[in-house]
Amino acid sequence: MSEKKTLTFAIMDPPFESARSTTFFRLLEIAAGRGFNLNVFAYEGGVHLSFAKQKAHGNGVHGTNVETEHHPLPKIWVSEIMTKAQESGGSVNWVNCGLCADERGIDEVVEGVRRGSPADFWKLAQASDNSLVIATR
């Protein structure tokens, strides 16, 4: 086993619904900063995380406009983590479940995200030092 670890994550939760997606991104970012090679299998609602058409908005309740609200968009987090991994000597191999994306109309994703299938998850986990499933509840 090489010094550089390879980790595989599976995530089922969509953004904006629970704290699990944020926690998932925090774990990814730490691993990316350590130069690990990271695999992500986004399953079911998790395919929304990299959806390219996510849009920021203002918030009338908060009295903010689109700039001052600075609404978080997980698609940006995906790209930032990919960049950080690359700068740290690692990589992110992000696979969206293709059927999950189709049934949800997720037809545009950020650069670096590709379509795949459950077979990819199996192969990625097999080739990893460890794997972590972040299941939905």
Partner 1 sequence: MKALQIIEAAYRGTLEEQDDTIIWLTHSMRDTGADLSVLLTGNAVNYVLKGQDASGLEFGRWTQVNPPNLERELENLIAKDVPVYVMRDEIDRRGLGEAFTIEGIKLLNWEDLPKLLDAHDHIWHW
Contact residues toward partner 1 (CB under 8 A) are 15-19, 21-22, 25, 29, 59-62, 64, 68-72, 74, 76-77, 79-81, 83-84
3-class SS letters over the chain? CCCCCEEEEEECCCCCCCCHHHHHHHHHHHHHHCCCEEEEEECHHHHHHHECCCCCCCECCCCECHHHHCCCCHHHHHHHHHHHHHHCCCEEEEEEEHHHHHHHCCCCECCCEEEECHHHHHHHHHCCCEEEEECCC
Work out how close the CB of 26 gets to partner 1 at its nearest, in angstroms, rounded to a whole number.
8
Give whichever of 35 and 72 is closer to partner 1, judged by the CB atom: 72
Work out how close the CB of 16 gets to partner 1 at its nearest, in angstroms, rounded to a whole number.
5
Give whichever of 88 and 117 is closer to partner 1, judged by the CB atom: 88
Work out how close the CB of 37 gets to partner 1 at its nearest, in angstroms, rounded to a whole number.
17
